[in-house]
Structure 1
């Protein structure tokens, strides 16, 4: 069990301090994407074993958020409440993916376009979900998805690879993978990308 928890922590699925951003902090960074509404499943995949180790959801609804259950991502300019990250601009999305992709893991990216109503249901479920215990990331993501009309085929699962497989069978899903080959240390990736976001914010 201990080795399993270590693996999950390295991948990005762990118990972090609870996010408690205020309404004002969230409103200050709220980001809306006028493109098609969509739900994206991120799966952090071990490059050696090919097994998934963490699941999260990018939800493009009335605002763009990441539901990062029991996740490890943190950045100074990204408010968090519960397990939801706010202000997900393209730059923040890149920092999120880049922090998880490294010499030992890559990020599998699966996206499905949805209706505005579906997106808002997913958004509401994410923002009302609260904290998730370490190791339960894929189960939390799957339970959210299966409550969205059109995603009833998703089953509860403790295994990110199983959720990844079921999501791949949804109609219209697009698929991409993102690799980086820098330090295997997740904390180093978080530090580097936090610095990039801060520099961009100060220069703007």
Structure 2
């Protein structure tokens, strides 16, 4: 692994295990002597965490898809300015649980056909893609059961149900083909340890 700063993201449907795998990769790379920043979206900076509460808690129909898109973009811009860009510039590995691909799915495909608007806002206000995106792929029904079992307050998207999960899985796999140069797809329907080994192999040599 080289010592240049890199930006790695984890994507997948709710309950796929991506958050666990992001954490395990951060621990693995730290043990290899790399300086790692583990973060998440929406969130990752104080302002973005405030916006996270607005979009992930409360009634699933609280915001229109257009309003959600603006909120997520505002959170991502703050996250980029205050954490991601300076950390990568300092030679650190930034690992984020979700980034713009989630917005392409949940706002661009899931609730309304806003993909064109998502991409326009991304180009205008964000202007960067990850160096590597790890997609944890798994059966949407199993993932939904896991997501609902978490019993936390942030049930914003799990509440949309199984059909949403199926559409999101198909959409994420389509994104992996569209951006094949930076995506790697990992089978998440196995043990946590088996998935983690495959993630480590995928990242080694690229970051």
Q: Is TM-score (shorter-chain normalized) higher than 0.5?
A: no
Larger fraction in helix: 2
TM-score (norm 2): 0.29
TM-score (norm 1): 0.29
Q: Which has the higher contact order (CA 8 A, sep 6+)?
A: 2
